[in-house]
Amino acid sequence: MADWTRASAAQMAAAMKAGEVTSVELTQAHLDRIAAVDGDVHAFLHVDAEGALATAREVDAARAAGEELPPLAGVPIAVKDILVTKGMPTTAGSRILEGWEPPYDATVTRKIREARMPILGKTNMDEFAMGSSTEHSGYGPTRNPWDLDRIPGGSGGGSAASLAAWEAPLAIGSDTGGSIRQPASVTGTVGVKPTYGGVSRYGAIALASSLDQLGPCARTVEDAALLHEVMGGHDPMDATSLDEPVPSCVDAARQGREEDLAGVRIGVIKELSGEGYQAGVEQRFEESLELLKARGAEVVEVSCPSFEYALAAYYLILPSEASSNLAKFDSVRFGLRVEKATVERTMGATRAEGFGDEVKRRIILGTYALSAGYYDAYYGSAQKVRTLIQRDFAAAFEQADVLVSPTTPTTPFKLGERLDDPLAMYLNDVATIPANLAGIPGLSLPSGTAPEDGLPTGFQILAPAHEDARMYRIGAALEKALAEQWGGHLSAQAPELEVAQ
């Protein structure tokens, strides 16, 4: 292959096995690509060329010695900066953690190392994963490879952009209200939020603990499935980790490609359409539904009336949990310290300097929602809405095997466009948030580009808790039908980036 960065992770793994390419060659090709385009894209906060190449050399030597290797051994990967990585800086996009090197690995970091995947570096994100555009990163925004003046989504804009810019074939994301799926949608890539508890959160810097879930980012459904199986599984270090086998995502994706969808019921969520949804986004969504029908699926409409309150509930529950989780950034054990006469004044000065505006807004909102006299009206009510949303999903899944919607109401907007209007920014996640509130899995894959602006649109598939495999089956079936129309994957249609000399 002329340019290995254009291959899928599955193709890379097969080619290494067949002796057509080495992990060192693959890893170096991606490092070269990062050097060439990341000045413009800014997907990475930290690049670890030395560490990645060292892992690659070990894999190549092991393969040459005839060792049995894990399926993705030697395939490079980018890691969202929310995961702690021993010996590699971890900031979660915040200035308050600038230069911090964690003394331990997150469970998912450990699993990547055990899978013998070279870690290219850490990807940019909105500060502590609060945002939908990466503009809230303390280190400057990431730009969308489809149009450098537009947002790559958030909070995991760095991971998604690294895939769309061919800087990495796989990346890790975290999804609290859509931070994997929304960036996937606006960059023409694939992103999956597993069932809550399906992937260990140990060592993932917590935003909202009852909503956070780590998941795979990729350019194809099969690649996401391969990474999902590396990441997933029970972990005694996370008390909310599910003690059950990892879903058979790769087999499900294969089934989706090879078999028709006869007998599969697909529910279209009525409330996630109409006002606020861009015409081209809805058009591509409808076309995708037709393709699924052509493969034998039955399409029904379902109603989830409580979704109207999901965004409001989310912006109470998330800030409440975040205000508590972020109390640990107190200038004592790690990160920034702005020294004042007393520890209390030191904390106030440190947090004022280290946190950005969005983090401050949400901490104050959460402190308010949890304060005496307001707790029942705000936090308590939001938790009741959560019950109503779970009931809506339960009723909808009686009528359908999976539920679908556009992933985001619009294609990516321009950098700066919504920065001063937090409420407009929050609307990005209106279709992705319900899954987090209910703990169910969600997958986004590209459905095309909107005719009016030529920018990527996303198709979201939701499944009941523990049924992650279903999304991979339907997703792979749709991906195949779309690829037949396009003559390849959507990412191949992205404009070429200028290459730095």
Partner 1 sequence: MSSLERADVARLAALARIDMTDDDLDRLSGQLAAIVDSVAKVAEVAGQDVPATSHPIPMSNVHRPDEVRPSLSQDAALSGAPEAEDGRFRVPQILGEEA
Report the catalytic residues. Answer: 80, 155, 179
Q: How far is the CB of 421 from partner 1 (least distance, A)?
A: 8
User: Which position among 71, 240, 282, 287 is part of the footprint of partner 1 (CB under 8 A)?
Assistant: 240
Q: How far is the CB of 340 from partner 1 (least distance, A)?
A: 7
Mark the segment that binds partner 1 (CB under 8 A) among 54-62, 64-72, 329-337, 455-463.
329-337
Burial 1-29 (b: 16+ CB within 10 A, else e): eeebbbbbbbbbbebbeeeebbbbebbbb
Residue 383 interacts with partner 1 (CB under 8 A): yes or no: yes
Residue 315 interacts with partner 1 (CB under 8 A): yes or no: yes
Q: Between 64 and 377, whose beta carbon lies closer to partner 1?
A: 377
User: Which position among 114, 140, 371, 495 is part of the footprint of partner 1 (CB under 8 A)?
Assistant: 371
Mark the segment that binds partner 1 (CB under 8 A) among 47-55, 117-125, 260-268, 369-377.
369-377
**Distance separating alpha carbons of residues 362 and 101, to the nearest angstrom:** 26
Q: How far is the CB of 483 from partner 1 (least distance, A)?
A: 34
Mark the segment that binds partner 1 (CB under 8 A) among 30-38, 40-48, 370-378, 449-457.
370-378
Question: How many C-alpha atoms does 288 have within 13 Å on its Cβ side?
Answer: 33
Q: Between 342 and 501, whose beta carbon lies closer to partner 1?
A: 342
Residue 347 interacts with partner 1 (CB under 8 A): yes or no: yes
Nearest to 308 by CA among 275, 277, 271: 271
CB atoms near residue 424 (< 10 Å): 13
Write out the two tokens for 34: 């990062």
Cis peptide before 155 (omega within 30 of 0): yes
SS (H, E, C) 211-275: CCEEEEEECCHHHHHHHHHHHECCCCCCCCCCCCCCCCHHHHHHHHHHCCCCCCEEEEECCCCCC
Contact 330, 347 (CB under 8 A): yes
Write out the two tokens for 381: 């009510």
Mark the segment that binds partner 1 (CB under 8 A) among 33-41, 71-79, 294-302, 435-443.
435-443
User: Which position among 2, 18, 239, 262 is part of the footprint of partner 1 (CB under 8 A)?
Assistant: 239
Mark the segment that binds partner 1 (CB under 8 A) among 32-40, 218-226, 284-292, 337-345.
337-345
Residue 377 interacts with partner 1 (CB under 8 A): yes or no: yes
Contact 138, 94 (CB under 8 A): yes
CB atoms near residue 283 (< 10 Å): 16
Q: How far is the CB of 87 from partner 1 (least distance, A)?
A: 11
Residue with tokens 């969504």: 285
Residue 313 interacts with partner 1 (CB under 8 A): yes or no: yes
Q: Between 167 and 429, whose beta carbon lies closer to partner 1?
A: 429
Q: How far is the CB of 376 from partner 1 (least distance, A)?
A: 9
Query: x/- site string to partner 1, residues 116 to 155, per CB under 8 A?
Result: ----------------------------------------
Nearest to 334 by CA among 313, 354, 315, 306: 354
Residues 192-211 that bind partner 1 (CB under 8 A): 195-197, 210-211
Contact 392, 254 (CB under 8 A): no
Q: What is the chain's alpha carbon radius of gyration, rounded to the nearest angstrom?
A: 21
Residue 248 interacts with partner 1 (CB under 8 A): yes or no: no
Q: How far is the CB of 106 from partner 1 (least distance, A)?
A: 14
Instruction: Name the DSSP class of 402.
Output: E
Mark the segment that binds partner 1 (CB under 8 A) among 23-31, 145-153, 272-280, 382-390.
382-390
Residue with tokens 């990645």: 52
Lay out the sheet containing 265-269: strands in order across.
44-47, 119-123, 77-80, 170-175, 213-218, 190-193, 442-449, 456-462, 402-406, 265-269, 298-302
Residue 30 interacts with partner 1 (CB under 8 A): yes or no: no
User: Which position among 17, 293, 384, 414 is part of the footprint of partner 1 (CB under 8 A)?
Assistant: 384
Q: How far is the CB of 285 from partner 1 (least distance, A)?
A: 26
**Distance separating alpha carbons of residues 456 and 437, to the nearest angstrom:** 26
Residues 394-433 that bind partner 1 (CB under 8 A): 422-423
Residues 442-501 that bind partner 1 (CB under 8 A): 465
Q: Between 163 and 208, whose beta carbon lies closer to partner 1?
A: 208
User: Which position among 19, 103, 263, 274 is part of the footprint of partner 1 (CB under 8 A)?
Assistant: 103
